[in-house]
Amino acid sequence: MTSASTSVRPGGTVLVTGGAGFIGSAISPSLAEAFDRVVVVDNLHPQIHESGLRPEQLDLRAELVVADVAEAATWDQVLQDVTPDVIIHLAAETGTGQSLEESTRHTHVNVVGTSQMLDGLNRHHKLPRRIVLSSSRAVYGEGAWQDAEGKPFYPGQRMSATLDQSQWDFPGATPLAMKASETFPAPVSVYGATKLAQEHILQAWSKSYGVETVILRLQNVYGPGQSLINPYTGIMSLFCRMAMGGKSIPLYEDGEVRRDFVLIDDVASAIVAGAFSATVQGEPMDIGSGEFQTIGTAAKLIAEHYNAPEPHVTGQYRQGDVRHAWADISAAQEVLGWSPKFNLAQGIDQLATWIDAQPDVKPA
């Protein structure tokens, strides 16, 4: 692991790709306070931005350029006027299951969008001091497990033949936390593969040109401001809308799937820390809540908030989903001086309170 002690000073210009989305809007106030100029490039995709209008959550001090990061013309337009000191690269198609059916779209946005950005920076001779990449725990796939003798191994992708027989776990094995310095990435979705490609492309390019990189592998991000219309992301908001309508929340597999639900506030503070940390490294770091919860636990807390019926197990499964996923966040704590502040119950309360206050929200 190599690190540098050069710090990114407040002031200057930050450019945020996909910056009108859930995470981008959440970090925009902090960025506007710290930088002289905040420029957001976002195509306002209708799957997330139903109205096609600038989102209210995006800080008014941020300049919004509505354009596609995967088009060379976008970068020629933006970089004529913008000289970024820091880039926060959030732009991505994020649907894990959807990526298996729309692999070209996910690859185009996530991989070509990244390479077009880097080519544009070269073409206009405007290399930033630092790039912060929002990556994903999806790069790990099923991650590492431990056998009965305590030896780590990689079981690989779960197949339909075993899932159809309700064999959810790997017999005799125990899952391990995901840790970038130890866990070998082996994505089981097209989305995960494109996020890993983003990391590799950025690392190779940045090391060649001396650009600092901060790569953050995010676990399951949720919270106020999350899209309520995107059916491919945001299981927590979907659960809230089901419970709001008095429905029993359906639990896939056996309800014991483990996830690391991390509140948007904690993710936002991690990304901002990545932009300003005095110590940076080119290797990925994991961002999560510091603990795992089962899907069943999350659903039960949501049901209790809405006085909805108990969640029920369906035995269904979704291709591309991993069995268990949670992060070892020690590297981010050490390098960035960051730690999460909110537990699951606090986060669900914030999310549900926000959803309840939305004027046009409809039960699912």
For residue 233, the model assigns a pLDDT of 65
Beta pairing, strands 37-42 & 62-66: parallel
Q: Are residues 122 and 159 in the same domain?
A: no
Q: What is the CATH number of the domain that holds 274?
A: 3.40.50.720
Q: Is residue 63 part of a domain?
A: yes
Instruction: Give pTM, 2 decimals.
Output: 0.94
The Cα 259–Cα 288 span in angstroms is 10
Q: Are residues 27 and 49 in the same domain?
A: yes
The verdict on 39 and 173 lying in the same domain is no
Alpha helices in 145-262 (DSSP H): 160-163, 190-209, 235-244
> Are 148 and 271 found together in one domain?
no
Q: Is residue 252 part of a domain?
A: no
Give me 11's structure tokens: 């002031």
- The 10s digit of each residue's pLDDT in 53-106 is 899 999 999 999 999 999 999 999 999 999 999 999 999 987 665 666 678 989
Distance CA 240, CA 343 (A): 17
All residue ranges of the chain with pLDDT < 50 are 1-6
Answer yes or no: is 245 within a domain.
no
Same domain, 74 and 187: yes
Which residue type, as a one-letter code, is found at position 59? D
Do residue 84 and residue 166 come from a single domain? no
Report pLDDT digits (tens) over 299-311: 999 999 999 999 9
Is residue 153 assigned to a domain? yes
Catalytic site residues?
Answer: 191
pLDDT of residue 98: 63
Pairing relation of β-strands 13-17 and 261-263?
Answer: unpaired
Last residue of a domain, one of 154, 177, 200: 177
Q: What is the pLDDT of residue 53?
A: 85
Does residue 149 sit in the same domain as residue 213?
A: no
| 172 and 78 part of one domain | no
- Identify whether 213 is part of a domain: yes
- Mark whether 53 and 167 lie in a shared domain: no
Number of domains in the chain: 2
Contact predicate 362/241, CB 8 Å? yes
Distance CA 8, CA 20 (A): 23
pLDDT at 4: 40
Q: Are residues 156 and 22 part of one domain?
A: no
Q: Which domain holds residue 161?
A: 144-177
Q: Identify whether residues 158 and 83 lie together within a single domain.
A: no
Residues 136 and 25 in one domain: yes
